[in-house]
Structure formats: structure tokens, C-alpha cells
Structure 1
């Protein structure tokens, strides 16, 4: 009886410990190429990193309309930002305003 009870306690402790481990954050890659942002709509979670990859020969930015971020992207370089809050964020390139995209950030 004691061994079955001990096994139940160990199992409960392992289950509780696994619930306390935070999920690992993801890195979402978004490309800027041929004056387009791909994907134009992306989903992520708070704590995830967005990595923009500029494949063009032009400087681009990833500029949030709500002011959350403004990442400069030199030609053939990458830039990143860790998402800090949930919500929908529309962003664009300040140099090429027709380049627009949306991030849907879940809690």
C-alpha cells in the first residue's frame, strides 16, 4: 500500500513540475523580398521572437503602426524583436509604405 501511495505522490509531483515549466518561445521568420513582406499575416505568442530577413538590395523597416517596434533592416541583413504584449499589430516599411503586414499575437 505504501509503494502504491509513494508512486502516486511521485507521479503527482512530476505532473505539477511539468506544468510549471514554461513553453519555449518560438522564432518566426518573415522575409522581405521583391518589395513584399511574406507572410503578410503571421501568428505568434507573447515571448516569441520575430525575425525579419531582408533579401532585397534596399533598406527596409518593420515599423508598427501602434509604436510597439521599429526595426531597421539593412540590405541582405536580418533584424529581430521579442513580442511583449498580445494583440493585433499592423506594421509597414517606412521607406516603402506599400509593404504592409499584420502580426496576430496571442497571450
Structure 2
């Protein structure tokens, strides 16, 4: 029985370590819409990070990926959240105001 506990201890320890590293590395960032513009997205985004999109304007906006990977509807004074789930560059815009644009650069 003692050897069984020892054998299970290492995989359990590794699983707990992996979970704590993953949780510690995720960050939350905010991209604000004000004056018909997106604020600058963070330069260092990683898979697992969360973006809180906040619309401080009096108009309805969206944060819509050109590759259709996300589309967040943002009524006036509202927020929407998304967790980043893949790497790469993603251009985004507002469907109602196509001149409003930005780009996310996501690293592993």
C-alpha cells in the first residue's frame, strides 16, 4: 500500500503544479471604447488571458474579429468578457462603425 501511495504522489503533485502555473499565468486586461475609438490592446496577450471589452460611449458598438472568431455586442455603458483561446494576430472592428479597428497579438 505504501508503494501505491508513493506511485500516486508524483502524478498528483505534477497535476497540482500544472494547474497552479496555468492559473497564475492568466491575466485580465481591459479594452475600452470611448470617443468612437478602441483603446490600445495590451501588447503581450497570451492564450488563457481574459479581455474585458468596455463600452463607455453613448452608442452601441461591437468587438468583432475579422476572422469571425469572436463577436461581442456592447450596448452603451456595457461590458463583455472573452477568454483568449488561440495564438496569432486577430484584426477586429466594430460592425456598426467599421472605421473603428484594432488588432490583438496573442502568444502561446
TM-score (norm 2): 0.77
Tell me how large the CA RMSD over aligned residues is. 1.8
- Give the structure 1 partner of residue 107 of structure 2: 106
Structure 1 segments unaligned to the other structure (5+ residues) = 1-12
1:43–1:103 contact (8 Å) kept in structure 2: no
Cα deviations across residues 25-65 of structure 1 (Å, max 9, x unaligned)?
A: 11110000000000156431101111111000000000000
Larger proportion of strand: 1
Q: 1:19: how far off?
A: 5.5
Q: Distance in 1 between matches of 2:100 and 2:42?
A: 12
Q: Which has the larger radius of gyration?
A: 1
- Give the structure 2 partner of residue 50 of structure 1: 51
Larger proportion of helix: 2
Is 1:65 the counterpart of 2:39? The answer is: no
Q: 1:80: how far off?
A: 1.1
1:35–1:56 contact (8 Å) kept in structure 2: yes
Q: Distance in 2 between matches of 1:41 and 1:47?
A: 14
Equivalenced residues, count: 93
SS at match of 1:31: strand
Structure 2 segments unaligned to the other structure (5+ residues) = 1-9
- Give the structure 2 partner of residue 22 of structure 1: 21
Tell me whether 35-44 or 18-27 shows the greater mean CA deviation.
18-27
1:29–1:53 contact (8 Å) kept in structure 2: yes
